[in-house]
Structure 1
Amino acid sequence: MSHNNTDLFVFVAIAALVTVHDKPLLKRACQHALNDGVSMQELCDILPHISVYSGVPKALQALEILNSLDDIQGSNTLLIKRTEQQLKTALTFGQLPFGIEQQNNTVFELASLGALFALDDASNLVSEQLKRCVLLGYSREQLELLVIELARKVSSHIAMRAKCNLEKHFAMVG
């Protein structure tokens, strides 16, 4: 996955929308992402990762939404089935079958941040995730751009929560 900042922020918004379970906005955001060149593979790949925060049932419902979309890049039946199996395995056994590439992917780390911003009381987890994102090379300015994306595509309430968390985090680290 090779993306610029704007592309990466799409994953943050989608993760937040999965977490708050806003089906109409999620469907619109995912279709726009597909139309803008994000692959169905990339959209499916973030679901098991963010399900840790959003919950497996919400990730499975997001998968249903993805399955209903027009994928201009080709058939997604096998991909949807594989992702569904990963999520159902997580639901049954309480663990996700992550490969090495999924554990260390910066897109997944930003998506996790989006999911955490959408949760009401996750400030400690947000703080830890912000530390990870900074260690991965994201600047304060890049992370602050997430607030704009969340305000545009998710909600002003979640964007404000993200802004407060970012300010708190960077005030603590100086």
Structure 2
Amino acid sequence: MQNRLNEKQQAIIPIAAFAAIGEVDKLKTALHKGLNTGITINELKEILVHIYAYCGFPRSLNAISALMTVLEDRHLKGIADETGREPAPTPQGWNSLTAGSENQTRLVGKPVTGKIFEFSPAIDQFLKSHLFGDLFQRDVLDWSTRELVTISALAAMSGVSSQLKSHYAISLNSGMTIKQLHHFVDILETQCGDTSENSARKILAEFLNTENNQ
């Protein structure tokens, strides 16, 4: 059982956090560090695409633009970064809604229902088909990495405590360990400081307390 996040995983945390809140200068520094740890260009692209589901297209597009600037700067300095592999083709007969519903159920641990989805069936369909279907089927990042990206982004954003708590649970179902979640909070506080909402540790404690009392 893994107790700590590895070097690449640690580097992902500030990348996702700064991208999600639009701290472009800090993001560029984090991207340089991420590339230096061996994160590939395509992995970074995928990270910055993934966050749009949580912070929107504008922040995602700005972050991808920052990555382009960083790569050009490194190219001019003679640094050759690994491109990495492309995502596998979509399987024949792929159905985003069917696959996404199955993926969501696996990650959450049970079928997801609720009054909000009854009130707005469209958001339920888009969550299942696009986020858990189209995005999660792209295998440049494994599910555990996608969840690390997600909790990093949510922890840096304001007003999304309930979503962060939910994704702590999904992180465990995707393969992370409780000790790695504690390490995540340590790295978030060290690397992002006051940029984060500083509630990630509190929310983790609340989540674990709920889990222990079930």
Name the TM-score class by shorter chain: 0.7 to 0.9
The structure that is helix-richer by fraction is 1
Question: Is 1:165 the counterpart of 2:173 in the alignment?
Answer: no
Give how far 1:147 is off: 1.5
Greater shift in the superposed pair: 113-122 or 147-156: 147-156
Overall identity of the aligned pairs, in %: 23
Superposition pairs of residues 1-174 of structure 1, within 5 angstroms: 5-69=6-70, 70=74, 72-73=80-81, 97-98=134-135, 100-102=137-139, 105-156=143-194, 158=196, 160-174=198-212
**Deviation, structure 1 residue 35:** 1.5
After superposition, the CA RMSD in angstroms is: 2.4
Deviation of the 1:33 alpha carbon: 0.8
Mark the structure with the bigger radius of gyration.
2
1:84 is matched with none
Tell me if structure 2 keeps the 8 A contact 1:116–1:122.
Answer: yes
Change (3 A) 1:5 1:52: same
* In 2, Cα distance between equivalents of 1:122 and 1:21: 16
Contact kept, 8 Å, 1:148 with 1:159, in 2: the verdict is no
Query: Which residue type is aligned with residue 63 of structure 1?
Result: I
Structure 2, gaps ≥5 residues long: 87-125
Once the two structures are TM-superposed, the CA of residue 75 in structure 1 deviates from its matched residue by 7.1
Question: 2 CA distance for matches of 1:157 and 1:20?
Answer: 8
Cα offset, 1:121, TM superposition: 1.1
SS of residue in 2 equivalent to 1:155: helix
**Residues 8-56 of structure 1 deviation map (CA, whole Å, 9 limit, x = unaligned):** 1222221111111111110000011112211111110112211111211
**TM-score (normalised: structure 1):** 0.79
1:74-114 deviations in whole A, cap 9, x for unaligned?
679xx9xxxxxxxxxxxxxx857536135852111110111
- Which TM-score applies when normalising by structure 2? 0.65
Read off the aligned partner of 1:105 and give its amino acid letter. W
1:63 positional shift? 0.6
